[in-house]
Structure 1
């Protein structure tokens, strides 16, 4: 899958692009892998940072666990993208497919079950993929998201670096793909509540957390509007958004208010039908 240097420049500032070029030239990229369009790597800076990009997605959906808080992608992401321009890693997808094709069905089932028993996140995604509704409440999901904030900087209340919320967004997307919008809305609401309540702890990577909040809020509104044909259910969602607008993080209030207006408009459209 080919990408061009101009596409990399579009996702970062000129200064970051130059630093990414330097990091690539200094051979700071380690353990780079590609499966289909997903590239993961470890890039060394002041620490070892994990990087993930999606080559088939507009803007590459970059993620890095470094504390960069500027506009666009960070230098670690840029270095990895430039490596993909100059010397893309080989796709390991065919090897994976061949291994799956050659695996004994019973052995594969036993392996998968063993992994599902010990990995709750994988188990949730699997159940979503096969069409099961969410087995967790908003509060239960929130607990696991809140724990990520606690684990990021256990010695201090402040969070300086980005947190990877991919597992919850992937779970919500899985439910949406299966048409289970109410379950997806439950996941989005847990993300919204956790991000809102923990935003005061954030002291770095503000763009990262703001993007995650906006993505969760947009997903919640879309899923509630799609899933709930019951006017009372949408009214409850509007009440939740209005309550958060007054009790939550002040600079997020406007976002909650706009989301509530959007849902009220959906309610009005249903009343006219």
Structure 2
């Protein structure tokens, strides 16, 4: 979508828009990069916050690791978007393409191999891209997600700031694009379980965590329903959702109950086709 002041105003409150303008004018935006439709930047406030927006999507799909918990986007996101309105950084996509095209295949293979050996996130997404099903269980994935909660605020049990779950959603989406719905469902369920179990320790950025939970739960239902008419997978998933409604975070019970109903309806629709 076009990056205009009006489009930015549509995703935030008037007060946040004014603060975002001030942050832009004060030169608080650092390390801003633009590749294809993605823009990333660091914005200084009480500390330095990481911001990511997608200029090609409605609403810009903003993400920031600040503790803002109000309606719409935060001032850091607004500042970055307004910078893009005024003076968008050059798109580095063509530069990357040229570098890739000019790199020897063996050299590129060696570089990628080295990076895959040490970067587990990249390795998981690469294996998903080339069609490999996940070898990780829900519990194994959950352990890694739970660790993010532990590391966010190690001195206290309470979590005050957003956690970036992008790597897990990207991994699930990669599996979905490859038609590996069972693998995608495994990732989504790990997210759902971790968010459910850790939600009561959240004390800030409620919209962020609630949105992540809803996105993961919707993805889980869609992918289980798409697992090639696997009746056992559907039955197991409905049992999990019903159990979570009974024993999970109380204010999420209604979401689990609705998800169980939706999954049953989706499965019935597919069986009738």
Q: TM-score, with normalisation over the residues of structure 2?
A: 0.98
How many equivalent pairs are there? 273
More deviation in 198-207 or 261-270?
261-270
Query: Which digits, 9 at most, give the CA deviation of each residue in 1:98-150, with x for residues without a partner?
Result: 10000010010000000000011110000000010012110110000000000
CA displacement at 1:233 relative to structure 2: 1.8
Q: CA RMSD in A?
A: 1.0
Gaps of 5+ in 2: none
CA displacement at 1:228 relative to structure 2: 4.1
Which residue number corresponds to residue 159 of structure 1?
159
The 8 Å contact of residues 228 and 234 in structure 1, kept in 2 or not, is answered as: no
Q: Distance in 2 between matches of 1:70 and 1:200?
A: 19
Question: Superposition pairs for residues 46-85 of structure 1, below 5 Å?
Answer: 46-85=46-85
Q: Secondary structure of the residue that 2:252 maps to in structure 1?
A: helix
Query: Which digits, 9 at most, give the CA deviation of each residue in 1:27-86, with x for residues without a partner?
Result: 110110100110000000010000000000111110001000001100000000000011
Which residue number corresponds to residue 124 of structure 1?
124
CA displacement at 1:227 relative to structure 2: 1.2
- Which aligned segments of 4 or more residues in structure 1 are displaced greater than 2 angstroms? 266-273
The 8 Å contact of residues 12 and 71 in structure 1, kept in 2 or not, is answered as: yes
The 8 Å contact of residues 160 and 202 in structure 1, kept in 2 or not, is answered as: yes
Which residue number corresponds to residue 201 of structure 1?
201
Q: TM-score, with normalisation over the residues of structure 1?
A: 0.98
The 8 Å contact of residues 37 and 54 in structure 1, kept in 2 or not, is answered as: yes
Query: Which digits, 9 at most, give the CA deviation of each residue in 1:154-212, with x for residues without a partner?
Result: 00000000000000000000001101111000000000000000001100000000000
Which residue number corresponds to residue 14 of structure 1?
14
Which residue number corresponds to residue 89 of structure 2?
89
Which residue number corresponds to residue 104 of structure 2?
104
Q: Distance in 1 between matches of 2:70 and 2:211?
A: 13
Q: Secondary structure of the residue that 2:161 maps to in structure 1?
A: coil
Query: Which digits, 9 at most, give the CA deviation of each residue in 1:203-254, with x for residues without a partner?
Result: 0000000000000000000101111402222111100000000000000000
Q: Distance in 2 between matches of 1:71 and 1:138?
A: 32
Gaps of 5+ in 1: none
Question: Superposition pairs for residues 121-200 of structure 1, below 5 Å?
Answer: 121-200=121-200
The 8 Å contact of residues 229 and 271 in structure 2, kept in 1 or not, is answered as: no
Q: Distance in 2 between matches of 1:271 and 1:113?
A: 43
The 8 Å contact of residues 138 and 190 in structure 2, kept in 1 or not, is answered as: yes
1:249 matched to 2:272? The reply is no
